[in-house]
Amino acid sequence: MGKKITDKVTWVGKVDWELKNFHGQEYSTNKGSSYNSYLVRDEKTVLIDTVWLPYDDEFVNNLKKEIDLNEIDYIIANHNEVDHSGALPALMREIPNTPIYCTENGAKFIKAQFHKDWNFVTVKTGDTLDIGSSTLTFVEAPMLHWPDSMMTYMSGENILFSNDAFGQHYATESLYNDMVDNSELYAEAIKYYANILTPFSKLVTKKIDEVLGFNLPLDMICTSHGVIWKNNPAQIVEKYLEWANDYQENQITIVYDTMWNSTKKMAEAIADGIYSADPSITVKLCNVSLDDKNDVLTEIFKSKAILLGSPTINRGCSYAVAGIMEMAKGMKFMNKKAAAFGSYGWGGDVVNQLSTLLKDAGFELVNDGYKTLWVPDNDQVKSLNEYGASFVNSLK
């Protein structure tokens, strides 16, 4: 069912409440998601983006209830990733000659995905499409978050169709940001930024500055996932500028795994030490084997420093700790300090290995780490308290 946004714009996407993982298993979507597609009706009719492949027939059938497909003059593909381009083949079977407006990379990628030579019209920043009383202006946004990404601005309605930017994996039947629980909304928005956009933060700032420089009136940001930012749409733009600027809160996250609770005991003793040294700091403990990996990554994103702990397993660390550090490395976090800790039994090198993982992921090490043979006794717990306190002091 289409949902009317303005007299000229109708949401024709798909809300996917059942989606629990995205990008394979790379991103947990505990709150589902949506694939937002928009039908723009002026003197010309335009479809902006489609939906994920499994919903292609449903999408085309619903679209037919909204409009005679032959009345669609143009398709705009802001981004070719399959969650937005997946229904193109089904749609193009019905209207094979309809021009598809996209970036040069977009055309290349869509061809390479679907192996069809459709009627591509490639556009660059500043190119426009006159559709009657409104004009659509294209803004390339390479690496935000793919090389082909772009946004489309609609004059008159003052809408920025931003695609993935400003989105959230958040299923809702309500269309707008002021119609949902805002703590949930912001939790999903920051998770999305932390897990998808962090590596491109410098480009985020540059692109937002560029778009703000156009001084365009902005009534709504129509994203491709989650809510439409209608109530004060600038709020999410301001948040992005904040998040893109080496974001950190007054938080330390202790990221660890444990086998027989020795490393867990160490983590808790360090947390006590941090609290006693500075109760104003938020300390969070994340067991990476138990916690959602993307939530852990979000906590790291919010932290000014982390402590990484693992027991020694065979000759290395736990697979979950290694995995989260591989993800953290990809995020290219900036301006974050760190140290390692862990318990060992046979070989005691795990702390050095964790320190190397932290360094390789771009964290600044503040000490050589702390290791304990088997289970920490009371004296060691006290010493770990002191280690936590000295870690805090080294951040000053």
Q: Reply yes or no on whether 169 is catalytic.
A: no
Minimum distance, C-beta of residue 79 to ligand FEO, in the bound complex (Å): 5
Select from 393, 296, 312 the least CA-distant residue to 352.
Answer: 312
Minimum distance, C-beta of residue 225 to ligand FEO, in the bound complex (Å): 6
Q: In this complex, which beta carbon is closest to ligand FEO, that of residue 145 or of residue 284?
A: 145
Minimum distance, C-beta of residue 307 to ligand FEO, in the bound complex (Å): 33
Minimum distance, C-beta of residue 84 to ligand FEO, in the bound complex (Å): 6
Q: In this structure, what is the dihedral angle of CA atoms 314, 315, 318, 321, given to the nearest 10 degrees?
A: 180
The binding site for ligand FEO (CB under 6 A) comprises: 79, 81, 83-84, 145-146, 164, 224-225
Q: Reply yes or no on whether 84 is catalytic.
A: no
Set 164, 188, 268, 299: catalytic member: 164
Select from 10, 70, 2, 72 the least CA-distant residue to 44.
Answer: 72
Set 16, 56, 83, 257: catalytic member: 83
Counts for the chain of helices (H) and strands (E), in that order = 12, 22
Set 192, 193, 247, 370: catalytic member: 192
Q: In this complex, which beta carbon is closest to ligand FEO, that of residue 33 or of residue 258?
A: 33
In sequence order, the β-bridge partners of residue 151 are 139
Which residue in the block uniquely carries the two structure tokens 């060691």? 380
Crossing angle of helices 293-302 and 182-192, in 10° steps, is 90
Cα 78–chain centre separation: 17
Minimum distance, C-beta of residue 25 to ligand FEO, in the bound complex (Å): 16
Q: In this complex, which beta carbon is closest to ligand FEO, that of residue 14 or of residue 79?
A: 79
| Structure token pair of residue 330 | 């990809």
Residue nearest ligand FEO (C-beta atom) = 81
| Structure token pair of residue 308 | 């990484």
Pairing of strands 74-76, 100-102: parallel
Set 49, 56, 81, 140: catalytic member: 81
Q: In this complex, which beta carbon is closest to ligand FEO, that of residue 199 or of residue 348?
A: 199
Sign of the CA dihedral with 73 first, then 77, 80, and 86 last: negative
Coil, strand or helix: which one is 310? coil
| Structure token pair of residue 349 | 């090198």
Query: In degrees rounded to 5, what are phi and psi of residue 341?
Result: -155, 165
Q: In this complex, which beta carbon is closest to ligand FEO, that of residue 188 or of residue 299?
A: 188
Set 225, 268, 344, 370: catalytic member: 225
Q: In this complex, which beta carbon is closest to ligand FEO, that of residue 163 or of residue 372?
A: 163
Q: Reply yes or no on whether 83 is catalytic.
A: yes
Q: In this complex, which beta carbon is closest to ligand FEO, that of residue 8 or of residue 169?
A: 169
Q: What is the largest CA-CA distance in the chain?
A: 78
Which residue in the block uniquely carries the two structure tokens 């500075």? 278
Residues contacting 117, CB < 8 A, separation 6+:
111
Q: Reply yes or no on whether 164 is catalytic.
A: yes
Q: Reply yes or no on whether 49 is catalytic.
A: no
Minimum distance, C-beta of residue 315 to ligand FEO, in the bound complex (Å): 38
∠ CA 125-127-132, rounded to 5°? 140
Set 16, 42, 49, 79: catalytic member: 79
Set 27, 56, 140, 145: catalytic member: 145
Minimum distance, C-beta of residue 119 to ligand FEO, in the bound complex (Å): 23
Catalytic residues: 23, 79, 81, 83, 145, 164, 192, 225
